[in-house]
Amino acid sequence: MLNMKILVINGPNLNLLGLREPDVYGMATYDDLTSYIQKTANELDISVKIVQTNHEGDIVDHIQQAFGRFDAIILNPAAYTHTSIAILDALKAVPVPAVEVHLSDIYEREAFRHVSYPSAACVKSIVGKGFLGYGEALAFLKEYVSNIK
Ligand code: DQA
């Protein structure tokens, strides 16, 4: 499929990569992350739009607006992963396949991070692989979307 379009949504505090908890998230910055995603998308011949917001409702808006505009969503809801039924409901409402990505392995961290609401509405979850998780999500969705088209 030519020109597959994927929307990447990054949630709160991911704009502070490089500064925030480097022992957990590493030294690379948010710009490094977007460059990596863009480069990998180019290699896979995928057109990608990357957005970041610190606001839960903005994530809901981005998911809703993806319908009819994007073939798939890659979503790192950050801390809203563990609290947001609104994001889960948005993913369930909109028939656009989504992959959940977390830089860290949420299942190996504090107990409150072990629950992921959006995972119930995602076709795949990738955790603990750092930036490479986004690359894996792009490659997975390229295959997944061509199979459902
Ligand atoms: C995160 C994991 C979340 O628990 C945390 O709140 C984040 C980042 C990750 O990418 O590892 O902000 O989603």
Does the CB atom of residue 103 touch ligand 1 within 6 A? yes
Residues annotated as catalytic (active site), given as ranges: 25, 102
* Global pTM value: 0.96
- pLDDT tens digits for the chain (149 residues)? 558 999 999 999 999 999 899 999 989 999 999 999 999 999 999 999 999 999 999 999 999 999 999 999 999 999 999 999 999 999 999 999 999 999 999 999 999 999 999 999 999 999 999 999 999 999 999 999 999 87
DSSP state of 81: G
Q: Which domains does the chain have, with CATH numbers?
A: 4-148 (3.40.50.9100)
CA atoms within a 13 Å half-sphere pointing along the CA-CB vector of 4: 26
What confidence score (pLDDT) does residue 2 get?
58
Best residue among 83, 103, 105 to mutate for probing ligand 1's pocket (most ligand atoms within 8 Å of CB) is 103
Provide the sign of the torsion angle of the four alpha carbons 53, 102, 8, 72, taken in this order. negative
Does the CB atom of residue 13 touch ligand 1 within 6 A? yes
Pair 3, 70: CB distance under 8 Å: no
Pair 45, 2: CB distance under 8 Å: yes
